[in-house]
């Protein structure tokens, strides 16, 4: 069943998880992109209810999220975790709101579109009230893969991620700060946000381990990429690593095609792709780096080169701000497509 309620030109928008890092960024992106909002409703847990957030310079009182919160809401942007989405998304759609959900709750539901607007925007039109926002690491990878896949079908992808501490939330960022300070002062601090020390370290585990030895984060990259790109035959091997960077994920991506793709054609296709910026000049030591790209909206690609170890292979390096393009911006771009 497809959704048949039209979105008004100026919808009432609810942000669920309005005081969290992604919810805050969602409101900022809505403001910066001039999204036409009749009224914004800020929703959060009872713990945060009563706080004040600002939208377009005006204060908005945060309301406690309940099953009745969506009366009169046209669009609900969820970023409060999978359990909240599972409990509350149905109430939102029953009230007539379209849900754009940033959690993993609905991503692999065959009835729910999983959308990256630069890759599969048409899938938005087939929603039945809920549209899923993919995992942050998946989003930036498929933005880079799509123009290459259009040149020649991709057979296999091997990706290693270098994921920022902020991907695990504010507490994780705080822990990186505090552990860095303690380490430099020869003091010992016990980890709490991560299983191990994150300062001056890399942790090759994001999310829980699965039976095959991969982590759930790695599994997400595999299954979500296949769904978004409508390419179930692409083979994907992922290794996801948490690194002591505050914001922006980086990925080393090896791509094997079923036929030859020249470096020149690949570079031209990437440079012309929506939402993607080439930053690739080895002679000037120019390539994307997380420390320089915080707060940006594009997906950046550099270090593009031939992989001579396979018959038709390329290597590339991909960086994006995972709070912007990897979460808040992607959700707002989906919402923009819903507008009349």
Q: How far apart are CA 85 and CA 93, in angstroms?
A: 11
Concatenate the DSSP letters of all residues of 249-270 into one string. EEEEEEEEESS---HHHHHHHH
Catalytic residues: 136, 249
Q: How far apart are CA 333 and CA 193, in angstroms?
A: 31
**Dihedral sign from CA coordinates of 194, 195, 196, 202:** negative
Nearest to 80 by CA among 69, 94, 71: 69
Q: What is the DSSP letter of 286?
A: B
| Opening angle at CA 217, ends 171 and 293, nearest 5 | 60
Cβ atoms of 138 and 220 within 8 Å: the answer is yes
Cβ atoms of 298 and 320 within 8 Å: the answer is yes
Which value, in Å, is the radius of gyration of the alpha carbons in the chain?
A: 20
């Amino acid at each position: 069943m497809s959704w048949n309620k039209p979105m008004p030109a100026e919808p009432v928008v609810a942000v669920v998880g309005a005081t969290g890092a992604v919810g805050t960024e969602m409101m900022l992106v809505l403001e910066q992109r001039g999204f036409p909002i009749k009224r914004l409703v800020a929703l959060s847990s009872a713990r945060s209810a009563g706080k004040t957030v600002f939208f377009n310079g005006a204060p908005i009182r945060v309301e406690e999220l309940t099953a009745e919160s969506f009366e009169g809401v046209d669009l609900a942007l969820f970023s409060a975790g999978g359990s909240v989405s599972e409990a509350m998304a149905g109430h939102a759609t029953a009230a007539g709101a379209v849900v754009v959900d940033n959690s993993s709750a609905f991503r692999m539901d065959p009835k729910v579109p999983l959308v990256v607007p630069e890759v599969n925007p048409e899938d938005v039109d087939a929603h039945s009230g809920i549209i899923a926002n993919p995992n942050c690491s998946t989003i930036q990878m498929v933005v880079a893969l799509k123009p290459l896949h259009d040149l020649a079908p991709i057979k296999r992808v091997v990706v290693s991620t270098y994921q920022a501490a902020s991907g695990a939330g504010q507490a994780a960022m705080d822990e990186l700060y505090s552990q860095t300070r303690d380490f430099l002062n020869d003091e010992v601090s016990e980890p709490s946000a991560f299983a191990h020390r994150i300062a001056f370290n890399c942790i090759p585990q994001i999310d829980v381990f699965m039976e095959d030895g991969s982590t759930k984060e790695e599994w997400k990259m595999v299954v979500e990429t296949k769904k978004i790109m409508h390419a179930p035959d692409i083979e994907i091997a992922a290794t996801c690593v948490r690194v002591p960077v505050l914001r922006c994920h980086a990925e080393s991506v090896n791509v094997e095609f079923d036929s030859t793709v020249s470096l020149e054609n690949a570079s031209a296709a990437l440079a012309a792709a929506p939402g993607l910026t080439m930053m690739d000049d080895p002679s000037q030591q120019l390539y994307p780096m997380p420390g320089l790209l915080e707060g940006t909206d594009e997906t950046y690609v550099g270090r593009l080169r031939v992989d001579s170890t396979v018959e038709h292979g390329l290597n590339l390096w991909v960086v994006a701000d995972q709070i912007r393009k990897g979460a808040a911006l992607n959700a707002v771009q989906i919402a923009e497509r819903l507008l009349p």
